[in-house]
Amino acid sequence: MSEQLIIVSGSKEDQYISLLSQLKSLVEDETDLIANLANVCAALKEYFNFFWVGFYLVKKDSLVLGPFQGPLACTRIKKGKGVCGTSWAEKKTMLVPDVDQFPGHIACSSLSRSEIVIPLLHEDYVWGVLDIDSKELNDFDEIDLYYLEELCHTILSKKHMP
């Protein structure tokens, strides 16, 4: 992929298919983890204009803030805490339509209303999470979940582990 992102119009599904194909060639051409995570954040933000897009990476007993796009965010999250720490502990995607209804949600910004967190898994080991926040309630659905998992599980695979 060149540094130019091609944004197609059409359904959200069409947009994810186009974005993921571009991201796949982008990460195939680059082995550096941080460079790839940074470009994935930038591409997701530019494509869908999400409020906040970022990665947290597992370091010892915490998730530590990695590459992101959006307002400043909290830097460390313990396992099992908030939406991100729960995704890490349970090794599963968390789709939260209303963050105020999620017990223990960590509010980095009061403007965030809904959220999706996908674990970065390799052979049952979580090495980080992708966190996306929206200013709208109920902004993520099964289409987001399917394609963002595809991104995290297939495109950001073993060779990208820290």
Using CB under 6 A, list all residues that contact ligand SME: 52, 73-74, 77, 82-85, 105-106, 108, 112, 115, 131, 133
Minimum CB distance to ligand SME smaller for 26 or for 113? 113
Asked whether the beta carbons of 129 and 87 are under 8 A apart, the reply is yes
Q: How far is the CB of 65 from ligand SME (least distance, A)?
A: 8
Minimum CB distance to ligand SME smaller for 6 or for 111? 111
Q: How far is the CB of 42 from ligand SME (least distance, A)?
A: 16
Q: How far is the CB of 52 from ligand SME (least distance, A)?
A: 5
Q: Please identify the residue of the shown chain whose CB is closest to the bound ligand SME.
A: 82
Question: Sign of the CA dihedral 30, 35, 37, 42?
Answer: negative
- Helices 12-28/142-150 angle, 10° precision: 10
Minimum CB distance to ligand SME smaller for 26 or for 96? 96
Minimum CB distance to ligand SME smaller for 73 or for 145? 73
